[in-house]
Amino acid sequence: MKKELGIVFWMAMMMYTCQAVSNLHPLILIPGNGGNQLEARLTKDYKPSSLLCNRWYPIERNKEGWFRLWFDPTVLLAPFTTCFAQRMTLYYDQEKDDYSNAPGVETRVPHFGSTQSLLFLDPNLKKITTYMAPLVESLENIGYVDGKTMFGAPYDFRYGLAPKDHPSHVGSKFLKDLKYLVEKASNSNGGKPVILVSHSLGGLFALQLLNRNKPSWRQKFIKHFVALSAPWGGTVDEMLTFASGNTLGVPLVNPLLVREEQRSSESNLWLMPNPKLFRSEKPIVITPNTTYSAHNIPQFLNDIGFPEGIHPFKTRILAMMDQLEAPGVPITCVIGTGVSTAETLYYDKRSFDEQPEIVYGDGDGTVNKVSLLGHESLWSNAKNQTLKTIRVPGVTHTEILKDDGAVGEVVREISGINSQFKFVENVNVQ
């Protein structure tokens, strides 16, 4: 009798599991800045900055000449840091009003549609380059399968987007590919709408996808938008990046060697503090002669020696910062709080070639709290817009993808969306 009851129980559990898996809405993961692998190939037009950076470095590449540009561990060695920065640098053409790669450098994003390039930035160094692997594994544990119900949307994170009346070849193509992936994922799963899960910068791209498509499209193809660590209003950390360079915690790297490359990134310019969320009276950078806020960034760009960034900032980025319309689909924002985050940069007698004294405030270690909670201040009164915030104390910007408690919250939220549990507006995790 006990054996028969055991078999019945096992069959019931199997039926429940199968039903749960079959009821999963397809899910698309959109990474953040630097959150997926990037490959490059050098042509005869490439002009190396030194003998070490010749066309034949690195030796390891495939038959067509492609090699991994990001992440490349040789960036840790000073001679190769310069080489890496040269190959990653973008150039803005004011006549064409668009960004492009350095001459002789071709780039591509591997494994679009799969989570493969989001798991580890370098598969040979899994322990130190883990990105979305813990989250993906947890999603697989509730039934998601890569390429069937779970998809990845990697992109060239150096590029951003532009207002509709400006060209943005690379960024616009990504949005087009992302839209196609959403429709494909839905159609291959019985027409179920898709759950978008973004991290960091990926949230801004996902929001633009939603803002640029009709409500009827959103209603048909999008079930829910889950944004992790979204920098809705940019970060003070970007002011440091542009002023003095930023190693992003990578040891042994001289920030000045990567500063010009970081300044050239369109997406970095997009992530400057947004005047819609950072108050004009809030000082961000303080020098003996001038105080800079989110409201005089063009002056800041000029004074740090990057006047070429002023035109694209004024004509492209400011309009993008202003285009923060409600997504028009249910959204859950999962954020880390209570982590020391750069809030004010003091240069006193230091030049911008030196690292400043930093005063810290609340945030996730990278994005300031006012930016992380931008969805509440911007969209809380938007018509037919549901918002939910899950705060995870002590979890940093990238730990939100790895920390057991944070990943558990994300997976529980996704499970609830699949199960149609009641939508709760705010959750504080203890």
| Catalytic annotation, residues | 200, 364, 397
Is-contact 253 314, C-beta < 8 A?
Answer: no
Q: Which of 175, 145, 150 is nearest to 160 (CA)?
A: 175
User: Tokens standing for 332?
Assistant: 């859950």
Is-contact 407 142, C-beta < 8 A?
Answer: no
Quickly count: other Cβ atoms within 10 Å of residue 59's Cβ.
6
CA distance 180 to 150: 15
Q: Which of 360, 358, 93, 369 is nearest to 244 (CA)?
A: 358
Say which amino acid occupies 153: A
The DSSP code for 394 is: T
Whether residue 174 is preceded by a cis peptide bond, meaning omega within 30 degrees of 0, is: no
DSSP-assigned letters across all residues of 32-49? -TT-S-EEEEE-TT---S
CA distance 266 to 155: 13
